[in-house]
Amino acid sequence: METGGGGNLTFHAGEVTAQERAASLGQRGGTVWFTGLSGSGKSTVAVALEKALVARGRHAARLDGDNVRMGLCSNLGFSAEDRAENIRRIGEVAKLQAEAGLVCLASFVSPYARDRDRVAALHRGAGVPYAEVHVAVPLSVAEARDPKGLYKKARAGEIQGFTGIDDPYEEPRNPDLRLDTDTTPLPEAVERLIALLTDRGMIPAA
C-alpha cells in the first residue's frame, strides 16, 4: 500500500499503553460506525447516544457527514472514488480518536461495503474496538422523512448520483447491530447501543 513519504517514514511510538490510557480515562474507547441512507437516522441516533454517554460521565465525540464535508473533506464530491477517499480519511480520523480513548461516533452514508470493510480492517489490525451499525429504513421511509429536502431535489433531477435514487447503497451483510428506526424508538436505540458498547469493552458496565 502507498504510504507516502517515499519510504522514508518511521512510526514513532508513544510510551502510554492502551491499558494505561484506559485506566486514566476510565474507558477503553472505540469506534461506532453508523451507515445508512440519507434520512435513515444516523445523525439523530449518534447525537442522542453522545448525549447519553456524556451524561454517564463517558468521553465521546461525533464525526458526521455534512460537518466533515465542510472541512476535512471539502474537496470531495459524491463519485464512487470521492466517497472512497471520504471514508478512508474519516476512518483514519476515527481510529485516531478511538486510540486516544474516545468513543467515536461516525455517521456516514458509506454506501460501499468495500470502503466500510477497509475501515473495519484498519481498526481491527490495530486492536481498536470497532462496531458497525446499520441504521436501516426502507427508501420509502427515508424519502417521506426527507429532513433536508434532498430526495425531492434528487427526484426533480437537481441532484445527480443521490444514494438510493440513482446511486447504489450496499446493505451491510453482517453488521454488529441493525437499528430499524421506523420501528425502534430513539430511547430504545440508545439503550441497545449502550449495551453494544459495553459488550465490546468500549465503556465499562454501569
Ligand X SMILES: Nc1ncnc2c1ncn2[C@@H]1O[C@H](COP(=O)(O)OS(=O)(=O)O)[C@@H](OP(=O)(O)O)[C@H]1O
Q: Binder to ligand X among 29, 65, 91, 175 (CB under 6 A)? A: 65
Here the cell at position 58 is: 463517558
Q: Which does 108 bind (CB under 5 to 8 A by kind): ligand ADP, ligand X, none?
A: ligand X
- Which residue ranges make up the annotated binding site for ATP? 36-43
Residue 140 annotated to the active site: no
Measured CA distances, 77 to 73, 86, 118, 143, 194 (Å) = 9, 9, 20, 21, 33
Q: Which residue has the cell 459495553?
A: 198
Subset of residues 35 to 74 that bind ligand ADP, contact rule: CB under 6 A = 36, 38-45
Torsion sign across C-alpha atoms 59, 194, 148, 154: positive
| β 130-136/30-35 pair status | parallel
Q: Which does 186 bind (CB under 5 to 8 A by kind): ligand ADP, ligand X, none?
A: ligand ADP
**Cα–Cα dist 81/68, whole Å:** 17
Q: Binder to ligand ADP among 31, 35, 107, 163 (CB under 6 A)? A: 107
**Cα–Cα dist 57/26, whole Å:** 9
Considering the rule CB under 6 A, would residue 111 count as an interface residue with ligand X?
yes
Residue count, binding to ligand ADP (CB under 6 A)? 18
Catalytic residues: 110
Q: Which residues bind ligand X (CB under 6 A)?
A: 38-39, 43, 65-66, 69, 78, 83, 86-87, 108-111, 148, 150, 159, 161-163, 167
